[in-house]
Amino acid sequence: MRSVADAKRPAVVRVLVYSSDSDTRSQVMLALGRRPHPDLPPIEYLEVATGPVVVEKMDAAVVDLAILDGESAPTGGMGLAKQLKDEIADCPPIVVLMGRPDDAWLANWSRAEAAVSHPIDPIRLTEAVLGVLRNRIAA
């Protein structure tokens, strides 16, 4: 029998993964896998390679979480995160990928809920994603 909490839980979590580098997108999806934790629904990925498509998908509210690569070009993920937080009233949580740990101040400026540095560490990325998804799904 399903509990009330299970009835409110979405069937899947839609995660937008943005990077101009297809290898980075692949690394993120491989690091998280399809089901990073048994308490969360499976992840359905939406790969995006350009900034304008990120804005389009976020505006359409088809995303539960966005992972944005701060090293993308020509549109960096941290600038995109700031733009999305400024322009979307109920913006989904954002995790930014930083070029180096010293860029944490920039991640903070972007108003992202979490930041993880390159190279992608599956454990750190999963912890960051689980932290923001648990808060989002529990809400």
Residue 7 pLDDT exceeds 80? no
What pLDDT is stored for residue 137 in this prediction?
66
More confident residue, 74 or 9: 74
Q: Per residue in 36-88, pLDDT tens?
A: 988 889 999 999 999 999 999 999 988 999 999 999 999 999 999 999 999 99
Confidence of residue 100 (pLDDT cuts 50, 70, 90): confident
Q: How many CB atoms lie within 10 A of CB 74?
A: 7
For domain 4-138, the CATH class is: alpha beta
pLDDT given for residue 80 in this prediction: 96
DSSP string for the chain = ---HHHHHS-SSEEEEEE-S-HHHHHHHHHHH-S-S-TTSPPEEEEEE-SHHHHHHHHHTT--SEEEEETT-SSS-HHHHHHHHHHH-TTPPPEEEEESSGGGHHHHHHTT-SEEEESSP-HHHHHHHHHHHHHHHHH-
Percent of the chain with pLDDT over 90: 73
Local confidence band at 23 (pLDDT 50, 70, 90 cut-offs): very high
Taking the C-alpha atoms of residue 85 and residue 75, their distance in angstroms, rounded to an integer, is 16
> Domain residues of the chain, as ranges?
4-138
pTM of the full structure: 0.90
